[in-house]
Structure formats: C-alpha cells, structure tokens
Copies of this chain bind each other. A is one copy, B any other.
Amino acid sequence: MKILVVGSVAFDNVETPFGKVQDVIGGSATFFSVAASFFAPVAVVAVVGRDFPNAELDFLRSRGVDTSGIEIAEGRTFRWTGRYHEDMNLRDTLDLQLNVFAAFKPTLPEAFRGAELCFLSNIHPGLQRGVLDQLREPRLVGADTMTHWIQDTRPELDELLRRVELLTINDEEAKLLSGERNIVVAARKILAMGPKSLLIKRGEYGVLHFSADSVFAVPAFPLEQVFDPTGAGDTFAGGFIGSLAKSGDFSARSVRRAIVYGSVMASFVVEKFSLDRLRELTSEDVERRYRQFVALTEF
C-alpha cells in the first residue's frame, strides 16, 4: 500500500548540548518519508528552492521515495534554526525563514490522487484540507498540527479534524486543543472533534493512543544519549504509517504494532543529528529494536 505525505523539506541549523550543525536536511516530510520507506513505498509532495542539493533528492530516491511531487521553485529552501536546552524536552526557535514555502499550495500529481494512505504533516490546516480535497478515496488520512495552528487558525483546524481518521499531537498541544489539563479527558474531547484515533506523543515518556474503545500506552525506548530530538515526531509518524501500509491491516492489533514501529524509528533518529542515523540504519536494526521493545515492556 503506497503512502502519500505532504509537508516540509527544509534546511535545519540545530544546536543541542552535544553539538551544533549547520544546513543539514530537515523538514517534516523528509523525516516522515525516510522512516516510512523502511516499510512501504512513499511519495512526497513538498517544495524546495534552487539551493536544495540534488544529492539529497538522490538519497530519498535511493530509499525508494517518489520525489516527483517535490517542486523545485525559484528562491531558497525553508530554513529552521533551533537550540535545545540542557533539558532537551525544551527548545527555542531562533530563526524561521519560510522562503519558497511561503507560497506553497500543494498540488497533487494525478498519479498521487488515488493514494490510500495519506499523512498531512504539520502545515497550515487550510493547506492540509486542500490536499484532502484532491484525494479520491483514501482509506486512512492522518494529520499532525502544532500550537501555532491551534491558536491562530482554529476554524480551519476544526474543519480538518472532522475529516481525518487520525491526529498526532504532543502532550501540550492536546491540552491546548481541548482546554483540559487531564490527558485522558483531553483525549476524549479531541476524539469528539472528529478523529477516530488520537496519538499523543510525550517525548521521552512515550506515546498514548486513544480510540473510542481502547487506550494503548508504550514507553519511549530508554536511551543512554538523546543527541538531537529534531524530527522525532515526524519519524514516529513515518514508522507508524509505514507499518500500517506494509501490513495493509488497520485492526487494533496492527495499529498497536505500528505504534511500536513508530517508537522504534523515533528512538533511532534522535541518536544522531538530522537524518544521519536513518541513513546507516538497516531493516535488521529495526527488527532488533522492535524485539527490544517487547523485552522492555512484557510482563
């Protein structure tokens, strides 16, 4: 089952307590698609500038990612600069240059409109909705969002939520979206807004999944060093949707396995800067860590 992801492909400047990198590849669609590519074919819709290196597009293609939906526009690529605190659950955005992303209006190539699995990563909910309008008959659509859209584009977000099966969000965003402090109450309220399934990402504390009749909790993999958390959420989503696409099975059991695969992929990506850990990763590594998750949690 083929996956379509719409989102950003970007340059990042990142500083963590362990080091600093300039002009490395980032962006939600990038992390998502590389993670998903370990499980199933992925097509990306995004925009980059003329400054985006061909070598990186070649890398995506080497992972089986369909890059024909990545438009190369006049101008510079989206660029994010951030610094993590000693407590890496906290970060500051130091600079944000939308560049070619400012005018991004995702248009799906005809070949992509029949996608069965679509993930709308973190962009303006109006644009996310525009993608939905171009899809013929998706079996499952997931979306991500963030504080900025919850605060500033609530009507568009509300409309989107009525039309997606799955929402991924973090702890703070779930509290903000629902107006509730208790995460279980917050989850119930968000499910009432539309999504049938809600994934709450809690960083080093793992993931909670809520549906109408079930709650599933999986801890994060305890790592001796979290080197760079950038892209962990998008990588999680890529592993999760990838696993669902590979199995073609959307049952509760398969969803749980997919959440663990998402957690596996996220646990790798934070071990190095940017996509560096995923570049060298093998499917055997993925399966080994999945078994470590079993050992970590079984009783």
Chain A residues in the interface with B (C-beta under 8 A): 86-87, 181-185, 202, 204-206, 208, 214-219, 222-226, 253, 256-257, 259-260, 295-299
Contacts and interface: CB of A to CB of B under 8 A. Distances in A.
A59 to B, nearest CB: 30
A257 B216 contact: no
Nearest to A210: B222
Nearest to A208: B222
Interface centre among A216, A219, A253, A295 (most CB of B within 10 A): A219
A156 to B, nearest CB: 30
Counting every copy of the chain, the complex holds: 2
Given A256-B299, A259-B299, A299-B260, A184 B223 contact: yes
28 contacts: A86-B181, A87-B181, A182-B223, A182-B226, A183-B204, A184-B222, A185-B225, A202-B205, A205-B205, A205-B206, A206-B217, A208-B219, A208-B222, A214-B295, A215-B222, A215-B296, A216-B297, A216-B299, A217-B219, A217-B222, A217-B296, A217-B297, A218-B297, A218-B299, A256-B298, A256-B299, A257-B299, A297-B299
B296 A222 contact: no
Contacts of A219: 206, 208, 217-219
A222 B183 contact: yes
Contact of A182 (B183, B184, B225): B225
Contacts of A182: 223-226
Nearest to A296: B217
Contact of A216 (B181, B206, B224, B296): B296
Contacts of A223: 182, 184
A298 B256 CA distance: 8
